[in-house]
Amino acid sequence: MDNSRKAPYLVMIVSLLFFPSNVFSTPLCSSDNEVQPSECPHGTVTNRCGNTVCAKGLREPCMVYRWERDLCGGGTFCGCGFCMGCNNNLQCWDCGS
């Protein structure tokens, strides 16, 4: 293999060796983003950092990042990348509808 074809692999290996936390890490936790329940139409949930955040509603994207999977509101869950199920107002949606 000539040097021009080895360069991308070398860059990747060096990046992984010297910057592993930036490649595989999740965002840092912050307590500055706390919300009031009255601000959240779908209720609140606790995120991976222990902060209270607004829950996502039906048809809203979830699990955009692997650490967001449990952010759907009451009665709903993350499936097919969107919050689905039946919410507290008995409105229902699934990925096939």
Q: What is the pLDDT of residue 40?
A: 93
Model pLDDT for residues 62-82, shown as the tens digit of each residue: 876 665 667 899 889 888 889
Mean pLDDT, the chain, integer = 77
Hey, what are 58's tokens?
């039906």
Is the pLDDT assigned to residue 90 strictly greater than 70?
yes
Range of the domain at 78: 29-93
Model pLDDT for residues 5-20, shown as the tens digit of each residue: 766 666 666 555 655 5
Are 80 and 64 spatial neighbours (Cβ–Cβ below 8 Å)?
Answer: no
CATH code at position 80: 4.10.40
Which of the two residues, 25 and 90, has the higher pLDDT score?
A: 90
Which of the two residues, 19 and 89, has the higher pLDDT score?
A: 89
DSSP 25: P
Q: Does 58 reside within a domain?
A: yes
